[in-house]
């Protein structure tokens, strides 16, 4: 039975269009393998960020009051706006994958550009926040000054974690914008159609993952001690 299936697939005239590699039996199997591989990579990313979240959890459990005191120095409006911007970018990314699946080339190009713009807006807002922290001497190691004297040392740990975690997240965003640029070039060259859209879907998975990291960073970094301030 398996022989027959393989035979039929190789007879398929759309083999060229699906970019089917010879070591896969069918386009569906190739797609499943790509998805599994991408998720395997994303699991390593979960554990990469997970290590930083574990470090955050340990120090927050040790110094809860110091961590809560940092909330008033976080800009909840900018942080919340950025959360919304990323959620919007995930919507346009999901719609971009859908456009590729339906061979809607123009919609794909527009949605990829919109997703990139959302990504760049996020990075710009993040930059504005970092710059404000820099001006307020909130960067550990660079003349760190904390207005709450009893937490002058321990609050620094939160800011170290803050710059590390938002920094690694922003780095992933920059890589994501680069990957979207690649997709955009390929889309204008008419590479993607209803039979071949794996790169759009895989980069989409990456983009959504980066959104999820921020979904956890926002409450943990911005909303810790909001109720006290």
Partner 1 sequence: MTAHSPIPKVKTFVAVWATLIVLTGATSAISYVELGDWNVVVALAIAVIKASLVVWVFMGVRYTTTLTRLFVVAGLVWLSIMMLITFSDYRTRNWTYQAQPWSHTKGVGGTSSPSR
**d(C-alpha 31, C-alpha 63), whole Å:** 47
Helix ranges, the chain (H)? 2-11, 15-18, 27-62, 64-69, 76-101, 105-135, 154-188, 198-222
Minimum CB separation of residue 160 from partner 1 in Å reads 18
**d(C-alpha 163, C-alpha 160), whole Å:** 5
217, 169 Cβ separation under 8 angstroms:
yes
33, 197 Cβ separation under 8 angstroms:
no
Cβ closer to partner 1: 111 or 116? Answer: 111
Tokens representing 147? 């207005």
* 3-class DSSP assignment, residue 192: coil
- CA dist 82 → 68, 94, 228 (Å): 21, 18, 23
Cβ closer to partner 1: 103 or 139? Answer: 103
108, 100 Cβ separation under 8 angstroms:
yes
Minimum CB separation of residue 139 from partner 1 in Å reads 24
Minimum CB separation of residue 141 from partner 1 in Å reads 24
Minimum CB separation of residue 74 from partner 1 in Å reads 11
Minimum CB separation of residue 50 from partner 1 in Å reads 5
Cβ closer to partner 1: 17 or 185? Answer: 17
Cβ closer to partner 1: 139 or 164? Answer: 164
Minimum CB separation of residue 184 from partner 1 in Å reads 20
Cβ closer to partner 1: 95 or 177? Answer: 95
83, 179 Cβ separation under 8 angstroms:
no
Cβ closer to partner 1: 51 or 149? Answer: 51
**Residues forming the site for partner 1 (CB under 8 A):** 14, 18, 26-28, 31-32, 35-36, 39-40, 42-43, 46-47, 50-51, 54, 57-58, 60-65, 76, 80, 83-84, 87-88, 90-91, 93-95, 98, 101-102, 194-195, 201, 204-205, 208-209, 211-212, 215-216, 218-220, 223-224, 226-228
């Amino acid at each position: 039975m398996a022989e027959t299936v393989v035979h039929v697939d190789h007879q398929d005239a759309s083999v060229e269009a699906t970019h089917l590699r010879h070591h896969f039996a069918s386009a569906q199997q190739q797609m499943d393998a790509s998805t599994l591989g991408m998720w395997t990579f994303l699991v390593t990313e979960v554990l990469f960020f997970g290590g930083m979240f574990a470090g955050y959890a340990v120090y927050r459990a040790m110094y809860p009051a110091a961590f809560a005191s940092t909330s008033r120095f976080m800009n909840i409006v900018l942080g919340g706006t950025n959360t919304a911007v990323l959620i919007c970018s995930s919507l346009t990314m999901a719609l971009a994958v859908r456009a590729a699946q339906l061979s809607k080339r123009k919609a794909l190009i527009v949605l990829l550009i919109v997703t990139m713009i959302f990504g760049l807006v996020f990075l710009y807002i993040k930059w504005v926040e970092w710059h404000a922290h820099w001006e307020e001497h909130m960067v550990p190691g660079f003349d760190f000054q904390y207005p709450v004297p009893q937490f002058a040392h321990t609050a620094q740990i939160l800011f170290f974690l803050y710059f590390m975690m938002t920094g690694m997240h922003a780095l992933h965003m920059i890589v994501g914008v680069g990957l979207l640029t690649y997709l955009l070039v390929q889309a204008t060259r008419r590479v993607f159609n209803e039979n071949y859209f794996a790169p759009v879907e895989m980069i989409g998975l990456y983009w959504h993952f980066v959104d999820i990291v921020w979904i956890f960073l926002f409450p943990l970094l911005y909303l810790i001690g909001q109720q006290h301030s």
